[in-house]
Amino acid sequence: MAEGFVGNACGILLRSGVGENGVSMPKTKNGEPNPSSAIDFSMMEDAVGYRLRRAQLAVFQQFNEAFAAKDLRPTDFAVLLLLSCNQGLKQSEVAEALGIQRANFVAIVDGLEEKGLVERRKSEKDRRVQALYTTRAGSDYLKELMPIWAEHEERLIARLGGTRERDQLIHLLKRLCD
């Protein structure tokens, strides 16, 4: 029911040439409203999922800018960081902990292994299982990355308004995950 209302309301606004907040949309050459040049986000402004996704994109963009010189993706960094405190985890454990599909995770580990940052070893508990370890080069590289990550985190915290707001955001996000 609400879906029909939303679609109908947006359609009426677009046909009338009125965009978000009652602002008139740009016109085509023949004077018709040009809905392709104006996007009405009013129905999504307060949607949690939409805002989470936009925030994730912004944070990843800022991460990529901060780490551009290091040719490092957020996922690669997360794997290195997790392994630095959890040497010997199974590949499946790391993939699950980071929410990465196992098929995609193999390619990530292959890339980190090719760079000499991570190595696979047969598990001491179960020889059929591959355990992951950071190499000496991986540990050194991570030490080099930590100040960049700390600056990135500080910029995010400042944009949020401080550590209290960061803690509140993390608390709320955990409620969505738990």
Mean pLDDT of 59-83: 93
Amino acid identity at 46: D
Mean pLDDT of 42-46: 86
Over residues 127-152, the pLDDT tens digits come to 788 899 999 999 999 999 999 999 99
Q: Is the pLDDT of residue 33 over 70?
A: no
Over residues 94-127, the pLDDT tens digits come to 999 999 998 899 999 999 999 999 999 987 777 7
> Is the sign of the CA dihedral 44, 47, 50, 56 positive or negative?
positive
Residues belonging to the chain: 178
Mean pLDDT of 24-36: 57
Mean pLDDT of 153-165: 97
> Which of 1-10, 102-111, 158-167 shows the lowest mean pLDDT across its residues?
1-10
pTM: 0.72
